[in-house]
Structure 1
Amino acid sequence: MIKLQSGNNPLFALQCLLAGIKMLGHQELRKYLLIPLVINLVLYSLAFVLSYYSVSGLIQHMIPDWLSWLHWILWPLFFISFIVISFFTFTLLANLIAAPYYSQLSAKTLQIISGQRIDPIEAAWDKVFFAELKRVGYLLLRVLPLLLLFLIPVVNMIAPLLWAIFAAWGIAMEFMAYPLENNGLLFAEQKQFLQQARWGVLSFGGVTGLGLSLPVINLLIGQAAVIGATLYVYKLSTNSNTLSAEDTP
């Protein structure tokens, strides 16, 4: 039974995420980190190369020689745009592909901190994949209304804040899913859990989202978030709001 008394504490949630970062170097977790890392590296590398050559060709065809000085403006814009687009697309795609490995990473983390043998809930890869798509669908249905807020005068002043909150919620929902699934909670129950621990969950998702938006850091923050989310759920299930040295080996 998961207790939520301390789940709303933002400091506790961030403490769990920090502990997850520290556990990245744990000897027993390394093999679970490699495949998601390779997936991210391949996706980002392909996306960067394809984007670079596409933009380069577009600039050469669209910008005449006498406006060549615009290259100094367009290329910085390209790199900024790549970071933004990769955050909203390739990070999501990488999580979809890495979902089965993240589930195993969460189970192994739980085994380490609990001292008991834990096996992830057995599920076919396609079921895991479609579970991810269900979460994506839930989030996409709410993206369009939020985007429309940017077009409404006065309301568009608070639209960026609402978008940031929504992004934090979606990211937390993604990474909390793995330990919650290993606790036997389905999608509807996961949403109920997140709603009852809203402030802690939003803090966790917000900081994780910031890490996902930073180059290099975003290659490992996903794995750290899975570990941190596992610690978060485990400590709530044991009705404790502190992390001991034994929990973060």
Structure 2
Amino acid sequence: MISHPFKAIGAFLKALPLLFSPSLRLFVLAPLLANFALMAILYMFAFSFLTGMTDSMMSWLPEWLGFLDWLFYALFGVVSTLLMFYSFSVGVNILAAPFMGILAEKTEEKLTGKVIQETVSLNFVLSIVWHSILRELQKLAYFLPRLLLLLFISFVPVINVISPLLWLLFSAWMLSVQYLDYSFDNNKLSFRDMRASLRRKPIVCWSFGFIVMILLTIPFINLFVMPLAVVAATCLWSDIFTLDHGLDGRSAFGVRE
């Protein structure tokens, strides 16, 4: 238990050279470029839509409150930006899931020498896309009720004193579930089994999530957090989670070239 935070740190240190290795480079660059292009297009359309929506809402404002235009514009702008950010985060995770699942698969193959999928066909790719979307929707169904509960707690007097800590722990846990799930899914373990396995090792999961949160705050580095977190999560899976399910992933310490 005491060593679990160091295992999470070690997973990221192990993931860095793997991320830029020749055998994984294509599986890292392809989803990154696709996500950058997609996010640029979505942000352009969303900015135009939200600007129009804000102007429309401002037209309902009574004339006698006209002197507060700047305040309402700022308020609507902040709310719209937050909604756009969280909506796109969910959307990008859903759209990137097939790419990230394949990256986790190829990382595990490199770590263990075990070939998870030998042949790739159009039907196989389509099945991966469909299954990945369904799995992401399961995560969304898991996150939303807890998110709403935290929002409620944040507005309850006295109890809301601890809400910042709860938000911090919840965010770290969400990130762990998001990225560790790819390896569990690749190994045919259900979402329920994945959650049960993570609950047995909460310290390593929170440690992993906190590292991802810190990396997300660093400019430029945050652009590569998604693939880095997937590779690091796969290292953690091979290192400590495989034994829970009767699998042998200890060869993660001997990376194949």
TM-score by length of 2: 0.76
Q: Which residue of 1 aligns with 2:144?
A: 140
Aligned partner of 1:181 among 179, 185, 193? 185
Partner of 1:96: 94
1:217, distance to aligned residue in structure 2 (A): 3.2
The CA deviation at 1:95 is 1.4
Which region of structure 1 is more displaced relative to structure 2, 112-121 or 180-189? 112-121
Structure 2 gaps of 5+ residues are: 60-65, 243-247
| Farther-moved stretch of structure 1 (206-215 vs 229-238) | 206-215
Q: Residue 204 of structure 1 corresponds to which residue in structure 2? A: 208
Asked whether the 8 Å contact 1:87–1:213 carries over to 2, the reply is no
Partner of 1:168: 172
State the match for 1:11 in structure 2.
6
The amino acid that maps onto 1:14 is I
Deviations 1:125-150 (A, max 9, x none): 32221121011101112111110011
Encode CA deviations 1:152-186: one digit per residue, 9 max, x unaligned.
11111111211121111111111111111222311
Once residues 120 and 153 of structure 1 are traced to their aligned partners in structure 2, the CA distance between those partners, rounded to angstroms, is 57
- Report sequence identity in percent: 26
Q: CA deviation at 1:206?
A: 2.1
> Whose RCO is larger (CA < 8 A, sep 6+)?
1
Gap change, CA 1:142 and 1:34, over 3 Å in 2: same
Residue identity opposite 1:26 in structure 2: S
Q: Alpha-carbon deviations, 1:63-108, whole Å to 9, x = none?
A: 9xx98xx69x959x958974x5555222221111121121111111
How many residues are matched? 238
User: Equivalent residue for 1:115?
Assistant: 113
In structure 2, distance between residues paired with 1:211 and 1:90: 19
Q: Which moves more between the two structures, 188-197 or 116-125?
A: 116-125
Give the drift of 1:23: 2.2
Q: Structure 1 residue 11: deviation in Å?
A: 1.7
Which residues of structure 1 form unaligned runs of 5+? none
Could you tell me which residue of structure 2 aligns to residue 157 of structure 1? Answer: 161
Larger displacement relative to structure 2 (116-125 or 152-161): 116-125
- Give the conservation status (yes or no) of the 8 Å contact 2:112–2:252: no
TM-score, length-scaled by structure 1: 0.78
**CA-based RMSD:** 3.7
Partner Cα distance (1:202, 1:119) in 2: 31
Give how far 1:32 is off. Answer: 1.1
State yes or no: 1:30 paired with 2:25: yes
